[in-house]
Structure 1
Amino acid sequence: MNQFNSAAELNDWLLAHGIDTSTWGQSSKTKTVANLWAEIQRGETRLQMDPPLRHVQVVRVLVRRGDEVLIEARQLFRDGRDRLRNRLPSEKLKPGEDPLHAARRCLEEEMAIPPEKITIYPNTYRTRLVETGSDSYPGLPCRYEFHLVEAAVPGLPSGSFSTEEQASGPGDPVSQHFWEWQPDKEAGQPVR
């Protein structure tokens, strides 16, 4: 059970378990201990206690336009840092949330797309588990459950564009998303 009353308490626990947090939040790739604590509080992340392991469920949404796919090229953090992404539109699942609902929420929150303009294709859904390090929290091992689904969103700009984060809350560092179309080299591969 994750019982941390504050980000400081979480930081103490991480340090006691050999995870150096001194570089977290210091570069454009990393988030802070406060960001991790907020993810835990919102139920987007669970921590296995011994050994430390971050568990996250992420939905990735494949939006196609001809032979191209929509990629989030980068994010702008509220503190001014610019984070390179080069990934499909993605969103962490909330506790008990259906991945198809999370895919719709991803497009609504990150791209300000009205729900009636989003078509999710349930027959394209697939999932896979990956255990790896985390770019956001270096040194903290992570187990990702990736859910991939395709969606159609008519009327998106034909070139690069940016959107404001629509559902930012406490602990969410992202203020703006930058999107671009890239060749569909990995069509259907849940690896981005």
Structure 2
Amino acid sequence: MFPPPQQPLTNLPSLPDLLLTALSVCFLVSSSKSHIATTRCPFPGRILKIPAMSLSSSSSTSAVPPRRHNFASPQSLSEWLKPRLPSESLASWGVKPGTKNVHNLWLELSQGETSLADSTPPVRTVHVVLVRIKGKDAKFLVESHQELSDGNVRKRGRPLSEKMKPNEDPESAAVRGILEELGSVVAAANAFYSRVEDIVTIHPNSYQMRVEERDSASYPGLPGCYVLHTLHATVQGLPEGDFCTYEVDEYQGDFHHKNVAHKAVSVKKHYWTWVSADSLQT
């Protein structure tokens, strides 16, 4: 049995300072041909290991500006997608358990978390930070599953992950993801700390980057190019056993964004467990 979740974290003093220090990390433009089988990411598949202290300089020199689509509404995005995706695939978005809908994709695009190549099918490129949080007995924290706003459960089996925002470096994205997804337990356990740095430690020289090409589980039929930035971290105050947390403001923005967010499929609860290093999937 999971213990009752704590109330969500609503304020942590040093988060704005961390976010303001984020250096420029741009999304990479996807280019593709007319079939999924021949779709290619802008990067060849590779793994780079770079010291954490050099992340900003590396990102600023290798980043490529994304191709942006300024869709006025989710409806205009849907109309753009219809001739570019199989109708049965698009119709399954938000209907098939565990999938998201066109409102989710529109929010990702409008907030700069995702770019789409103008191709058939379009290729969705997204930068994701994966945070391997180390606990006691050399175990790592893994999200086992999520409870969604539509009542469905989505299996995960991976470390904490967060889509990166424009002008955000991997370390800042990692800290933001920790606060958003684990904040409801971190706040209660670390009430006497005044700085984020006292709670979250990013391990030096742990940074790795790799690129994966695969179809999106959230958006069936939409091929994806995932630029994965992996970091190791330690977080004070996490339970030693299984636990769950509330998501804190998955979608933010002005009134228009919040209105669209009500129609999107959002994460309500995260369920976590500790596993050995050789059990990590990513």
2:217 matched residue in structure 1: 135
Runs of 5+ in structure 2 lacking a partner? 1-67, 188-195, 252-257
Conservation of the 8 A alpha-carbon contact between 2:131 and 2:230:
yes
Cα distance in 2, alignment partners of residues 148 and 123 from structure 1:
11
- Secondary structure, aligned partner of 1:163: strand
Task: Give the structure-2-normalised TM-score.
Answer: 0.64
Task: Give the structure-1-normalised TM-score.
Answer: 0.92
Match runs of 1:179-190 below 5 Å: 179-185=272-278
Cα distance in 2, alignment partners of residues 17 and 147 from structure 1:
29
1:46 matched residue in structure 2: 115
Going from structure 1 to structure 2, the CA distance change for 1:47 and 1:122 (only over 3 Å counts) comes to: farther
Deviation, 1:76, is 1.2
Specify which of 120, 123, 130 is matched with residue 60 of structure 1: 130
Counterpart residue type for residue 173 of structure 2? A
Runs of 5+ in structure 1 lacking a partner? none
1:178 and 2:271 are equivalent in the alignment? yes
Match runs of 1:146-185 below 5 Å: 146-169=228-251, 170=258, 171=261, 173-185=266-278
Deviation, 1:28, is 2.9
1:17 and 2:87 are equivalent in the alignment? no
| Percent identity for Structure 1 against Structure 2 | 39
Deviation, 1:146, is 0.1
1:27 matched residue in structure 2: 96
Cα distance in 2, alignment partners of residues 146 and 117 from structure 1:
24
Greater RCO structure (CA 8 Å; 6+ sep): 2
Deviation, 1:155, is 2.3
1:99-153 Cα deviation digits (max 9, x unpaired):
1110011100100035230001131001011111110011001100000000001
1:153-184 Cα deviation digits (max 9, x unpaired):
12211111011112332436112111111122
Cα distance in 2, alignment partners of residues 4 and 147 from structure 1:
28
Cα distance in 1, alignment partners of residues 144 and 131 from structure 2:
14
Deviation, 1:67, is 3.0
**Structure with the largest fraction of strand:** 1
Matched pairs, number? 189
Larger Rg: 2
Cα distance in 2, alignment partners of residues 133 and 97 from structure 1:
25
Cα distance in 1, alignment partners of residues 97 and 270 from structure 2:
14
